[in-house]
Chain A
Amino acid sequence: EVQLVQSGAGVKKPGESLKISCQTSGYTFTTFWIGWVRQTPGKGLEWMGIVYPGDSHTRYSPSFQGQVTISADESISTGYLQWGSLKASDTAKYYCVSGPILTGYIDYWGQGTLVAVSS
């Protein structure tokens, strides 16, 4: 059974850094890309970016380029999403997602990580 298990919810202050994780199991890590999707009540579902674990090549949506860093550690089959300096507008639920390398549909979703940024 394929599972994507994300790290827990967090409350952070503006300007703080954060790295959330996505531990995968049940499939060969390098055969799927790993990505992140943001969900907010106002904007719905938004693609942030993806990483190809085999070569760590990343692709970012223009809205998130330079705002976050997406990475993967093949040795522990885990993906990451990190911020260097959080803003209140980063408050959202973040889903780790994965799909077959040569396609763009999401086969698997993590349970979501709620990030709240407030002073």
Chain B
Amino acid sequence: EIVMTQSPATLSVSPGERATLSCRASQSVSSNLAWYQQKPGQAPRLLIYGASARATGIPARFSGSGSGTEFTLTISSLQSEDFAVYYCQQYNSWPLWAFGQGTKVEIK
């Protein structure tokens, strides 16, 4: 079983600042890594797939990087609408697709 570990659990950031979220896989998932954003009461939405490709309509301030076991989601300048919970998910091999436990980005 591949375990996805996200850090930190909570990130306090001021609007306009950069946020850096981490996701670590217990074994290599190549670049088969996605990031999702979930706001309260809403379904998650896809931000990044293939570790670094932005999904349709996602602003350029969101960027993903990494491969193998270490991945990063960076939000270059936080906007008010970016405060949410972010999840990573590996899809390297079924039935081992798995989500991380999430990072909550809150207003500092």
Residues of B within 8 A of A95 (CB): 43-44
> How many residues belonging to B are interface residues under a CB distance threshold of 8 Å?
21
Q: Return B48 CB to nearest CB of chain A, in Å.
A: 9
In the complex, A14 has a CB within 8 A of chain B: no
Across chains A and B, the number of contacting residue pairs, with CB separation under 8 Å, is 51
Q: Give A45 to B6 CA distance when docked, in angstroms.
A: 13
Contact across chains for B94 and A106 when beta carbons are under 8 A apart:
no
Which residues of B are found within 8 Å of A83, using beta-carbon distances?
none
B91 & A59 in contact (Cβ 8 Å cutoff): no
B83 at the interface (CB under 8 A from A): no
Interface positions, chain A 42-62, Cβ under 8 Å from B, are 44-47, 49-50, 59-62
Asked if A105 and B101 make an inter-chain contact with CB atoms under 8 angstroms apart, the answer reads no
In-complex Cβ contact of A105 among B91, B94, B102 (8 A): B91
Q: How far is the CB of A49 from chain B (nearest CB, A)?
A: 8
Q: Complex: how many Å from CA A60 to CA B97?
A: 10
* Contacts A47-B98, A105-B34, A106-B36 given; does A112 touch B91 at CB 8 Å: no
Pick 14 A–B contacts, CB within 8 A, sort by A: A45-B89, A45-B99, A47-B99, A61-B95, A95-B44, A103-B32, A103-B49, A105-B34, A105-B46, A106-B34, A106-B89, A109-B43, A109-B45, A110-B43
Binding site for A on B (CB under 8 A): 32, 34, 36, 43-46, 49-50, 55, 87, 89, 91-92, 94-95, 97-99, 101-102
Show the binding face of A for B, using Cβ within 8 Å: 44-47, 49-50, 59-62, 95, 103-107, 109-112
